[in-house]
Amino acid sequence: MGKTQKTLEEMDVMDDFLVNAAALDQELGEEFCRLILETLLQRQIGKIHITAQKTLQGILPEKRGIRMDV
């Protein structure tokens, strides 16, 4: 079973690609993340700093990699 690509209209905030693209945008990324955190936590959030999620490519490209930052 291979991966299927979604169109932009089919994506939502649960899609890693869409959220990462929005969060890492140089102009609006921090504001985007701050607004999401304020909405979820229902409180004001000050200035935040965004760091990209680091991933390692596996030996087999069809397999998923692992996170090493936990």
Other beta carbons less than 10 A from residue 59's beta carbon:
6
pLDDT tens series, the chain, 70 aa: 456 777 767 767 667 777 788 888 888 899 989 998 999 999 999 998 888 777 666 666 676 666 666 6
- With 0.75 as the threshold, say if the pTM is over it: no
How far is 16 from 32, CA to CA, in rounded Å?
Answer: 15
Which pLDDT does position 27 carry in this prediction?
A: 87
Q: What is the pLDDT of residue 39?
A: 92
DSSP 60: S
Radius of gyration in angstroms for the set of CA atoms belonging to the chain, rounded to a whole number: 15
